[in-house]
Structure 1
Amino acid sequence: MIGFQPKSEHNLYSESLAPVEFSERKVGSFGIGMIWFGIAVQVTSFLVMTPLVQYYTVGELVWINLIGQLLVCLACFVTQEIGLKYGVSFATTITAVAGPLGGKIVGIVRALPAIIFVGLNGFIGATAVNMFMKSVFGFDNMLIAIIINASLLILVTITGAKGIERFTTFAAPLMIIIGAIMFYVLMKTHGVGLIDVWDLGRTSGTDKSWLYGFGVCLGGYAAVAMGFNDFTKDCKVKNGNMKKAARTHLIFYSLMSAPSFMFFTMIGIITVVLVPGMTGAEVLPYLTELVAGGNNAIIAILALFVFVAQLSTNTAANLFPSEYVICALAPKKINFKTAAVIVGVVAFAIQPWNFGPILDVFLAVFGAAGGPALGIIAVDYYYFRKRKYSLGDLFNSKGKYSYWYGINPVSLSCYLIGIIIGLMFLDYNYFVSLISTSVLYMVAGNLFAKKFPVMVTETAENITNFTINDDPTIPM
């Protein structure tokens, strides 16, 4: 068990952020795979990934998307053990790295792109709801559709990881079937096969390094990867064997993420290549009309598919992690349900669907912020702390992780420098910023070890309010 008992000094503690006991976890290996399926089926990829045909051929994008998703899974593997072992979210564990106040800053940086994607996916989902209402009831009102979609997003998300798993397991067959139909009709209508379109693309006449494409993929999931313990804190650990659980989870979500993401992304990319002047925003309406041929019943079914696809993605990849960040901003005042409403309102208020063709650049830029964060977290947890946290101090703003006025100036300075380095090498930003920040933080941590000794050491006697069984397979 974890056995954490909150005390009066734990002012960062709340029921919404509480460690999940091993006995209370409900998500298995198949479940985390299904959650990843929902995360990977990105209907917004029609908007975000289709601009890449300016620089790559269809065949190149197949490999870029496939390898990019596998890299995303490896990035998630770095942080998943934190959730498995301690049962707490990113919003809590980032305190050990950046301090209680610094952790809030990093949390906001992490939540920003996720909130933008809540709005993007939500607008597509609302469009589908409106399409359904028009085809079935003859009622056309986008505002009502937005409210309906946002309400359902919040209702599914507040059920937690297990609720998201159940919804995605129910929705996956529908998404696979309808997606396959869309792909088949598209290719048949244009009289082409995959071989015929393999060398099409690169419409701008220029190309970019594959690392840029990988960076866009990683940028889209950077927020998920740097805090994958948001999900694994609810995952079962059979017989205390954490290493086996971590490996099994990696296999399941790798198998579910790469094919599903690549498949639905490639539908959009091939559509843009085959139809002159087509933009990412026009892909779904085009495919809907192509498949339905004006039949209202079929339009309603396709609209349901789009709605379900965005709901499964939006809840898991975007809304769920953001809520923990919002809860951590004021843990005694904001609970999980309230945070869901806040994220939903902000996401639709900023109207990110009007950001247009700069979305792929936005993802690449966020990769410059996501890479350094993942690097610092990995160095902090594996290199300095040797996989140990003082759970009680994570919930105490005046505990040993308070550093300097609640901020770890060393880690935040390295984080900022890493972002700047990434922006200087935009086409390679995720990788350059990840590697450079990791090395920088190793060096800086050791240089400032005397000033902030807790930054580089985590001794056994510092592990307060935490117990775990003595199974030797558990990495300590």
Structure 2
Amino acid sequence: MSNSNHLRSPDLLPIPHNKKKISTLGFAVLWVGMAVVLAAFAIGGAGIESLSLPMVILASLIGNLLIGLIITVNGDIGVEHGVSFPVYMRAPFGTIGTHLPSILRGVTASMWFGINTFFGSTAMNAILNVLVGFDNWFVCYIIFAFIQLFNTALGIKAVERFADLAAPIIILIGVWMFFTLSDQALAEGRHLWTWVESPVTGMAAFTAFMLVIAGTMGFWSTLACDISSISRFVKAPKFERNWFKRNKGTLVGSVIALPITQTFIIVLGAVSYIAVFNYDPVVALQEAASGIVLGVLLLMIVLSQWSTNISANIVPAATIFSNAGGPKMPFWLGVFAAGIIGTLFQPWNLFEALLTFLTVIGAVLSAIAGIVVADYYVLRKRRLNVNDLYENEGQYKYHKGVNLAGIIAWAIGGGIAIFFPTYSFFVGFIVGGVLYYFLAKSWYFKSFQQAEIKDPDDEKYLGITVGRDWIIGDEYEEKALIRKAKGGTVAAGE
């Protein structure tokens, strides 16, 4: 492989069919682990102040189903072509321009890693304090961070194996928490399904309902952008033209496992608020739990932060940093870079400021999700000139490596979304996607023609749908030379 081409880092090459290791069940289990996010308790707590529990559940399900569909839609990029998020972003942003949105997403993921690791380390410290009297949360932070990073550096199969272990434990403990909290609420004379602290009606009720939907979607606006970094490892059938059958592996996880699991976590936050007027069930249960029971509760916190971090934060961040660093930045090094960056932001000191910042970042990233849908589905119609994604002088070089249509649409879409925090994902997604479509089609792609748009040939530019594994680098070049010597040609990606 040519050392002069920094776009061909080995860890960023397309994943062939025989190396897709995550099954449909495995991806669903990954989602169970990822969806247990402690901050989601707050959505339930805020919702139950104005809405009944059935309405909170309905709003949560709607929000999760919507974001799950968007995640699956964008996940087709990884399923079809085997390419990761930062590599695909060379199409709508350029070979150099890709680093702007990608690194922003990588830093955001690293910061979330730091926050979740801090949560987990305090729980780990509490467990050790109960068992052996040890009390040093920072030592626990370093140990917990290293364990997570080492687990992820072992590869995607190690990530899936951990999720297989953690997911059922998390759910079992969650069910126990639900019934314990329910008993506490009933003891206080508050019925779960009818009690509301300050009931609202009319437009105020609609706004409260939409806040739960938007809050639920906001949690996964990041993964709605870069899901292909994970979906490229999900098994899918070759020669399958039916979109639903081809994407069954990601569809089951994102549209069934995610909504059910995260809605359950939101319900725990709501029930906790009904029981003790605090949406954090950990705080609520510490009043009634001690000894081994409290230790088991805290174990759930550790496992949930671990399972969320490795799939939703470390893998995407490491892939992005590997893309930015080229061949000198292998995946495992990107993993530890994510850990170091997340720690340097000192989440234990800047927690409140970080949450505000990350909320803004979520709004900005929603525009990227819209741009990806417009670029991949509407303009390219799922076809992709994958070989040129790895070429310095290919069609995605645009003007000095930058696709201005993508940059402008992102800046305007993300900028407007910031001013509408309640509906930020909808605003950013729609404005970014629509603006990109018109800028690219009417302006930029007229100056920089795209092969897959000019010649929409399935056999040339589709991947797994036509049974193709994209081959990049020396192996492709060797095939081309052999075919040329025999008087033939080699097809793109053959």
Q: Using structure 1 for the length normalisation, give the TM-score.
A: 0.88
Residue pair 1:218, 1:367 contacting (<8 A) in 2 also:
no
- In 2, Cα distance between equivalents of 1:78 and 1:234: 16
Alignment match, 1:84: 79
Alignment match, 1:453: 449
> Using a 3 Å threshold, how does the CA distance of structure 1 residues 468 and 179 change in structure 2: closer, same or farther?
closer
Alignment match, 1:444: 439
Residue pair 1:90, 1:230 contacting (<8 A) in 2 also:
yes
> Which protein has the larger Cα radius of gyration, Structure 1 or Structure 2?
2
- Indicate yes or no: 2:297 matched with 1:302: yes
Match runs of 1:263-302 below 5 Å: 263-276=264-277, 278=278, 280=280, 283-290=281-288, 292=289, 294-295=290-291, 297-302=292-297
Residue 446 of structure 1, CA deviation? 2.0
- In 2, Cα distance between equivalents of 1:439 and 1:376: 8
Match runs of 1:96-245 below 5 Å: 96-191=91-186, 195-196=191-192, 198-202=194-198, 208-241=207-240, 243=243, 244-245=245-246
> Using a 3 Å threshold, how does the CA distance of structure 1 residues 229 and 465 change in structure 2: closer, same or farther?
same
- Indicate yes or no: 2:23 matched with 1:23: no
Alignment match, 1:71: 66
Residue 93 of structure 1, CA deviation? 0.5
Residue pair 1:17, 1:327 contacting (<8 A) in 2 also:
yes
Alignment match, 1:330: 325
Equivalent position amino acid for 2:110 in 1: I
Write out per-residue CA displacement over residues 285-335 of structure 1, whole angstroms, 9 at most, x where no aligned residue. Answer: 442442x2x32x223222222211111111111111111111111112211
- In 1, Cα distance between equivalents of 2:461 and 2:449: 21
Write out per-residue CA displacement over residues 129-160 of structure 1, whole angstroms, 9 at most, x where no aligned residue. Answer: 11121111111111111011101111221233
Residue pair 1:410, 1:444 contacting (<8 A) in 2 also:
yes
Residue pair 2:185, 2:275 contacting (<8 A) in 1 also:
yes
Residue pair 1:10, 1:392 contacting (<8 A) in 2 also:
no
Residue 469 of structure 1, CA deviation? 7.4
Equivalent position amino acid for 2:147 in 1: L
- In 1, Cα distance between equivalents of 2:3 and 2:284: 58
Equivalent position amino acid for 2:184 in 1: T
Write out per-residue CA displacement over residues 359-407 of structure 1, whole angstroms, 9 at most, x where no aligned residue. Answer: 7765653342232111111111112112122222212233220112211
- In 1, Cα distance between equivalents of 2:50 and 2:414: 24
Which secondary structure state, in structure 1, belongs to the residue aligned with residue 98 of structure 2? helix
> Using a 3 Å threshold, how does the CA distance of structure 1 residues 139 and 467 change in structure 2: closer, same or farther?
closer
Residue 455 of structure 1, CA deviation? 9.0
- In 2, Cα distance between equivalents of 1:186 and 1:214: 24
Equivalent position amino acid for 2:219 in 1: G
Match of 1:424 among 401, 419, 428: 419
- In 2, Cα distance between equivalents of 1:198 and 1:105: 48
Residue 44 of structure 1, CA deviation? 3.1
Residue 272 of structure 1, CA deviation? 2.9
Which secondary structure state, in structure 2, belongs to the residue aligned with residue 330 of structure 1? helix
Alignment match, 1:388: 383
- In 2, Cα distance between equivalents of 1:324 and 1:410: 24
Equivalent position amino acid for 1:266 in 2: V
Residue 8 of structure 1, CA deviation? 5.4
Equivalent position amino acid for 2:97 in 1: G
> Using a 3 Å threshold, how does the CA distance of structure 1 residues 452 and 128 change in structure 2: closer, same or farther?
same
> Using a 3 Å threshold, how does the CA distance of structure 1 residues 265 and 467 change in structure 2: closer, same or farther?
closer
The answer for unaligned runs of 5 or more in structure 2 is: 469-494
> Using a 3 Å threshold, how does the CA distance of structure 1 residues 269 and 117 change in structure 2: closer, same or farther?
farther
Equivalent position amino acid for 2:232 in 1: K
Residue 177 of structure 1, CA deviation? 1.4
Residue 426 of structure 1, CA deviation? 2.6
- In 1, Cα distance between equivalents of 2:214 and 2:195: 22
- Indicate yes or no: 2:310 matched with 1:315: yes
> Using a 3 Å threshold, how does the CA distance of structure 1 residues 54 and 327 change in structure 2: closer, same or farther?
farther
- How many residues matched? 462
> Using a 3 Å threshold, how does the CA distance of structure 1 residues 288 and 393 change in structure 2: closer, same or farther?
farther
Alignment match, 2:474: none
> Using a 3 Å threshold, how does the CA distance of structure 1 residues 366 and 272 change in structure 2: closer, same or farther?
farther
Alignment match, 2:41: 46
- In 2, Cα distance between equivalents of 1:165 and 1:147: 23
Residue pair 2:109, 2:313 contacting (<8 A) in 1 also:
yes
> Using a 3 Å threshold, how does the CA distance of structure 1 residues 439 and 470 change in structure 2: closer, same or farther?
closer
Write out per-residue CA displacement over residues 60-101 of structure 1, whole angstroms, 9 at most, x where no aligned residue. Answer: 322222111111210111111111111111011101110122
Which secondary structure state, in structure 2, belongs to the residue aligned with residue 315 of structure 1? helix
Which secondary structure state, in structure 2, belongs to the residue aligned with residue 140 of structure 1? coil
Residue pair 2:152, 2:159 contacting (<8 A) in 1 also:
yes
The answer for unaligned runs of 5 or more in structure 1 is: 1-5
Equivalent position amino acid for 2:447 in 1: K
- In 2, Cα distance between equivalents of 1:9 and 1:254: 42
- In 1, Cα distance between equivalents of 2:367 and 2:181: 40
> Using a 3 Å threshold, how does the CA distance of structure 1 residues 341 and 106 change in structure 2: closer, same or farther?
same
Residue 213 of structure 1, CA deviation? 2.6
- In 1, Cα distance between equivalents of 2:72 and 2:183: 39
Alignment match, 1:3: none
Residue 341 of structure 1, CA deviation? 1.2
- In 2, Cα distance between equivalents of 1:347 and 1:457: 40
Alignment match, 1:260: 261
Write out per-residue CA displacement over residues 15-73 of structure 1, whole angstroms, 9 at most, x where no aligned residue. Answer: 22121110121111111111111111112323576445556554432222211111121
Residue pair 1:327, 1:334 contacting (<8 A) in 2 also:
yes
- My pick for the range that moved more, 361-370 or 463-472, is 463-472
- In 1, Cα distance between equivalents of 2:266 and 2:466: 45
- In 1, Cα distance between equivalents of 2:350 and 2:267: 22
Aligned-pair Cα RMSD in Å? 3.0
- In 1, Cα distance between equivalents of 2:403 and 2:375: 12
